[in-house]
Amino acid sequence: MRIETFRIHRLSIPLVRPFRTSFGTEHVRDVILVEAVDADGTSGWGECVTMSWPGYSYEYGDTAIDVMTHHLLPALAPVADSDDPHEVRAAMEVVAGHPMAKCAMSTAMLDVWLRGRGESLGEYLGAVRSEVDCGVSVGIPVTESIDALLDEVGSYVDQGYRRIKLKIQPGWDIAPVSAVRAAWPTIPLQTDANQAYQRSDARHLAELDQYDLLLHEQPLEQDDWYGHVLISRAVETPICMDESIHSLMSADSALEFGACSIINIKPGRVGGYLTAREIHDLSLERGAPVWAGGMLETGIGRAANVALAALPGFTLPGDTSASSRYYEVDVTEPFVLRDGTLPVPTHPGIGVDPIPEVLREMTVWSTELRLG
C-alpha cells in the first residue's frame, strides 16, 4: 500500500425527518467522506461523523477538515506506505483530541489496506455474526406531541426494529417513556439524555425504573464521572456512557469506578476502529455489554459500524438502522432491514462504495490533498 492522495468530499443530505436531541435539531446532514487513494488507484473510504456545529462534541465539520488538512495529513505522510494499522494510529498521536477526524482518515487507509489483502473489515476485527440486530433512535418530536412520538415508534416497530431508544431531556422523559411502554409492553426500550440532567435529578430518573428499561445513556455531563457513579447507585436501570468515553483508558475507568456498566461504542468518538475493538475486548473481559452507537452515518460509516457490531461482545442491538431511517437516497446501495437485522458486508475492506452519480450530485465541496 502507498497512499498518495486524500480526497475530502463534503455532502449535504436532507434527513427524512428532523432529528431533535437535547442539544439541538438537525434537518440536513453535513456529511464528510474521506477517500484515500493508493498508488495503484484503489480508493478506500472513511466517514467523518462530525455535525455541522459543536453541539455533541467540540469537533464539527469545519474543524475536522482543518485538522485533517493541516495536521493529520503531514502526520500521516511517514506512514503512507505502512502495512500496520497500529502504526498509522500511533502516527496520529501527535495531534491531541479530534478523534472523529482521526477515525475518518485512518479508516480510509485501513479500507485501502484491507482491499489489497482481500479481507473484509468484519473478518479483520473478529466478527462472529453475519447479521446484526438493529435498534432505532427516536428523536424528540419537534411538536413535543406524544401522539406524534407513538406514530413514529409504531412505524419502526412495524418495520421490525428490535429495540427503541428514546431521546429524553428534563420535561420530556416520564410521559414519553410511559406512553411507549404502555403501547409496547415488551419491546426492548432505552433512553438517551445526551448529558441533559444533573446529579440532583437522580430521584427523578429513578421514577423511570418502573418501565423496565435496558439502560439510560449519558444522563449527565461528560466530565461528571462521580455524578454518574451517584446516579448508578441511585437508579436500578443500568447506566451506559457515550460522550464520556474517548479512549481505552476512559472505558477502563468508567467500568472500574462504577460510573456505568454498559458502553456505547462509536468509532468516531474514540478515534477509530482499532480503539473501538480494544474497548470491546476490555468490556467483554469485564462482562460489560457493549452496543454500536450511530451518528446518522451514510452507508459508508454504517457498513463499518455493522462490521464492528458483529463482534461477540455486542450483545445489545445498536443504533445501526437501515438507510431509510435517515435518507431518501443513501450514497451507497441502501442498507435494508431484514427481520430486524442488517447484513454484515463481506466484500474486502468496508465492503461498500459510494455510487459515483449520487456522490457527485450531493457533493457541495471537495478538495484533494497530496501526501509528501
Residues lying near ligand NPG in the complex (CB under 6 A): 21, 51, 56, 137, 192, 194, 242, 293-297, 319, 321
Annotation marks residue 167 as catalytic:
yes
DSSP letters for 287-333: T--EEE---S--HHHHHHHHHHTTSTTB-S-BS---GGGT-SS-SSS
**Which residue, 194 or 261, has its beta carbon nearer to ligand NPG?**
194
Nearest approach, Cβ of 231 to ligand NPG (angstroms)?
Answer: 18
Nearest-5° angle of CA 169, CA 32, CA 119? Answer: 105
Looking at the Cβ atoms of 38 and 243, the one nearer to ligand NPG is 243
- CA dist., res. 341 & res. 343, Å (int): 7
Q: How near is the Cβ of 249 to ligand NPG at its closest, in Å? A: 21
By beta-carbon proximity to ligand NPG, the closer residue of 139 and 348 is: 139
Selected catalytic residue, list 29, 181, 266, 325: 266
The distance of closest approach from Cβ of residue 250 to ligand NPG in the complex, given in angstroms and rounded to an integer, is: 16
Tell me the three state secondary structure of residue 92: helix
- To the nearest whole angstrom, how small is the minimum distance from the Cβ of residue 41 to ligand NPG? 32
Shortest Å distance, C-beta 196 to ligand NPG:
11
Q: How far apart are CA 107 and CA 273, in angstroms?
A: 7
DSSP string for residues in 240-264:
EESTT--SHHHHHHHHHHTS-SEEE
- Who's near 143: CB < 8 A, 6+ residues apart? none
> How far apart, in whole angstroms, are the C-alpha atoms of residue 340 and residue 158?
10
Report residue 224 as a C-alpha cell: 461528571
Does the annotation count 266 as an active-site position? Answer: yes
Spatial contact of 367 and 8, defined as CB atoms under 8 Å apart: yes
Q: How far is the CB of 131 from ligand NPG (least distance, A)?
A: 17
| Closer CB to ligand NPG, 21 or 275, in the complex | 21
| Residue with Cβ nearer ligand NPG (34 or 292) | 292
Question: Which of 9, 102, 163, 167 is the catalytic position?
Answer: 167
The amino acid occupying position 370 is R
Report CA 248 to chain centroid distance, whole Å.
16
In the bound complex, what is the minimum distance in angstroms from residue 313's beta carbon to ligand NPG? 19
| Cβ neighbours of residue 298 closer than 8 Å, sequence gap 6 or more | 11, 13, 29, 31, 33, 47, 323, 326, 327, 330, 331, 332
Tell me how many helices (H) and strands (E) the chain has.
14, 13
Closest residue to ligand NPG using C-beta atoms? 294
Interacting residues of 187 by C-beta distance below 8 A, sequence separation 6+: 157, 163, 164, 180
Parallel/antiparallel/unpaired status of strands 262-265 and 135-138? unpaired
DSSP state of 70: I
Contact, 219 vs 201, CB < 8 A?
yes
Catalytic amino acids? 167, 266
